[in-house]
Structure 1
Amino acid sequence: MTEQPPVLAVTGIGAYRIRVRLEPVPHLRHGRGWPEAISAATLTGADFNADHDRGLSRFEARIYAPPGFEDSDRDRCTLASFEFHHMVLDSARGGIMDFTGVLVGALAYPQNVYDRLAAGTPLTDIDEARGNWPGDVRYLPHPHTNLERYLGWRAKLTISPLRRQDDQ
């Protein structure tokens, strides 16, 4: 039995709600039993990009900082980024898509950062998000330490478009 990381609930300004559930795959078997599947993240307001290159399907879900928070190159700062490879569309119905893939990257702040943002605290007032000089915020968050040991696990993703009531 494996210890389950806390579920990460991240709210952003994108167009989709993405739920990530991780499941063990055969090469991760250890001991007598299989580790349990875990609900790893719920990203509300995420944007996603998918592409296919040289036989590899790739999918990235990103949550961006509120408008006005940019790095020195004027790129939007990212609050969370989850990357998956070997994506397969399992089903699609009513605008909801179910994918299976492999988690290969997870960058995110701790949950308390998102809670403080939701309460109205500016990014520049949150230590974990501060950049290198006053008034600056980080371009990318830290590696998600609770999920790093699950890299390589099969991921089940449910992607649904946000409706107005979801975005409030």
Structure 2
Amino acid sequence: MTEQTPALAAAGNGAYRICVRLEPVSHVRHGRSWPEAFTAATLTGADFNADHDRGLSRFEARIYAPPGFEDSDRDRCMLASFEFHHMVLDSARGGVMDFTGVLVGALAYPQDVYDRLAAGCPLTDIDEARGNWPGEVRYLPLPHPGFQAYLGWRAKVTIAPDRRQDDQ
């Protein structure tokens, strides 16, 4: 029996579409019925931050909350954040970039939160996103439980311009 793999489709208002495909690496035990590879997340309207410091490349794909949802430091709250290390650019063509790296962090709400947001539910009405005070929204989601078993897996990350931005 193959283990049920997590899948996440989140949408924001950023400039990119980011797809994450995960593959097991040599240190992953195959005693459990792990999948060979699977599309883990599709982030539409995402932003990303990448840097290179002392030989370590780091990449973070982020989905921000709608404008107006900020923490006390006036930073916009995030709905999802995926972090990768050891990123290598495999190819780039026509504005589309393909990277390979290692998934080291996955903060995200459950899929039903994104479905409710897409249906028009206000963020402050969603219990999982609510902060400690009335009207407050959590700055970061909690670690996504479905992805914790896949930290350390090889990630194939495809980044493309979000064509929805061209329509506006």
Fold equivalence (TM over 0.5): yes
Name the TM-score class by shorter chain: over 0.9
Q: Residue 78 of structure 1 corresponds to which residue in structure 2? A: 78
Question: Residues 9, 54 of structure 1: CA spacing in aligned structure 2 closer, same or farther, 3 A cutoff?
Answer: same
2:44 aligned partner: 44
Deviation (angstroms), 1:162: 0.8
Q: Deviation per CA, 1:37-62: give whole Å up to 9, x if none.
A: 01100000100011000110000000
CA distance in 2, matches of 1:39, 1:167: 27
Distance 1:166 1:126, change over 3 A: farther
Separation of aligned partners in 2, 1:120 and 1:164:
18
Question: Contact between 1:22 and 1:155, CA under 8 Å: does it hold in 2?
Answer: yes
Deviation at 1:35, TM superposition (A): 3.8
User: What does residue 132 of structure 1 align with?
Assistant: 132
TM-score (norm 1): 0.94
Deviation at residue 33 of structure 1 after TM alignment? 7.8
Q: 2:156 maps to which residue?
A: 156
C-alpha separation in 2, matches of 1:90 and 1:155: 12
Q: Distance in 1 between matches of 2:149 and 2:166?
A: 31
Aligned to 2:74, the other structure's residue is in SS state coil
Q: Sort the Cα spacing of 1:167 and 1:10 in 2 relative to 1 into closer, same or farther, 3 A.
A: farther
SS at match of 2:27: helix
Does 2:136 align with 1:106?
no
Segments of 5+ residues of structure 1 without an aligned counterpart are none
Aligned to 2:115: 115
Matched, 1:141 2:152: no
Given that 2:77 and 2:140 are in contact with CA atoms closer than 8 Å, whether structure 1 keeps it comes out as yes
What is residue 28 of structure 1 aligned with on the other side? 28
Cα distance in structure 2, aligned partners of 1:90 and 1:19: 15
The CA deviation at 1:7 is 1.3
- 1:97 alignment partner AA: M
- Structure 2: gaps (5+ residues): none
Cα separation, 2, equivalents of 1:58 and 1:32: 30
* Cα separation, 2, equivalents of 1:129 and 1:154: 29
CA gap of 1:89–1:71, structure 2 versus 1, over 3 A, is: same
Letter in 2 for 1:107: L
> Counterpart of 2:88?
88
Superposition RMSD on alpha carbons, in Å?
1.9
Identity within the alignment, %: 85
TM-score by length of 2: 0.94
